[in-house]
């Protein structure tokens, strides 16, 4: 799981009691809408709690047994996942993750503004799937995220971090149009809350 924001999330269709299993929980930063129920779920399922060092230290104090503190640029093997921590521009000890498993590479950007090193993430990790924030106000908006997608060059991009609150209201189809204008080769997959994508 990445950023399990469930119990306080106004658009999440399930409760934390519906979660049946978690092996690895990756947290991108300490804001409530990302850390969410991460500590509670890690304790309940004895899952690995992965985050930047400062946040895992707090999680340990809160009783999480299995923590994997990392820092930017590093790669760790966690329960068979190859996890690389990459930069994000935001507050609250922000990071993104490259998650590799079974020949598939996923980039989860966390909360971030646009930054040109996204090109390096594309060049070095060649993600198959990228999750990019499009909500604006606290992160990139659709205009910036479309440019980010063209730099990261995933096969599939999933917009995230929008329409949870009034401040981050956006039209994901407008984002899809902007991505297509920049790169016809990137498929935009808009997921509704609760919907899943199996890749490939």
> Least distance to Ni ion from the beta carbon of 150, Å?
24
Cα-based distances in Å from 63 to 56, 66, 159, 191: 11, 9, 33, 34
Is 31 a binder of Ni ion (CB under 5 A)? Answer: yes
Q: Segment contacting Ni ion (CB under 5 A): 41-49, 110-118, 124-132, 159-167?
A: 110-118
Is 111 a binder of Ni ion (CB under 5 A)? Answer: yes
Is 3 a binder of Ni ion (CB under 5 A)? Answer: no
Residue nearest to Ni ion (CB): 31
Specify whether the CB–CB gap between 177 and 169 falls below 8 A.
no
Report how far Cα 66 is from the mean position of its chain's Cα atoms: 21
Which residue from 182, 185, 187, 184 is spatially nearest to 200, judged by alpha carbons? 187
> Least distance to Ni ion from the beta carbon of 82, Å?
25
Q: From CA 186, how far away is CA 128, in angstroms rounded?
A: 10
Q: Segment contacting Ni ion (CB under 5 A): 39-47, 48-56, 61-69, 106-114?
A: 106-114
Q: From CA 14, how far away is CA 193, in angstroms rounded?
A: 9
Q: Segment contacting Ni ion (CB under 5 A): 1-9, 25-33, 81-89, 100-108?
A: 25-33
Specify whether the CB–CB gap between 67 and 56 falls below 8 A.
yes
Cβ-based nearer residue to Ni ion, 60 or 164: 164
Residues found near Ni ion in the complex (CB under 5 A): 31, 111
């Amino acid at each position: 799981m990445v950023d399990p924001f469930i119990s306080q999330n106004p658009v999440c269709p399930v409760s934390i009691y519906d979660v049946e299993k978690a092996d690895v929980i990756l947290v991108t930063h300490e804001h409530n809408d990302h850390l969410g129920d991460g500590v509670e779920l890690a304790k309940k399922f004895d899952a690995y709690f992965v985050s930047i060092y400062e946040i895992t230290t707090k999680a340990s104090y809160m009783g999480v047994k299995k923590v994997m503190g990392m820092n930017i640029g590093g790669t760790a093997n966690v329960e068979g996942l190859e996890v690389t921590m990459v930069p994000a521009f935001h507050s609250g000890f922000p990071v993104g993750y490259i998650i590799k498993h079974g020949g598939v590479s996923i980039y989860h950007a966390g909360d971030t503004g646009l930054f040109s090193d996204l090109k390096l993430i594309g060049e070095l990790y060649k993600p198959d799937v990228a999750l990019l924030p499009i909500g604006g106000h606290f992160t990139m908006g659709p205009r910036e995220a479309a440019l980010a997608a063209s730099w990261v060059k995933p096969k599939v991009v999933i917009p995230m971090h929008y329409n949870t609150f009034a401040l981050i209201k956006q039209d994901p189809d407008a984002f899809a149009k902007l991505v297509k204008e920049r790169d016809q080769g990137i498929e935009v997959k808009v997921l509704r809350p609760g919907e899943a994508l199996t890749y490939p």
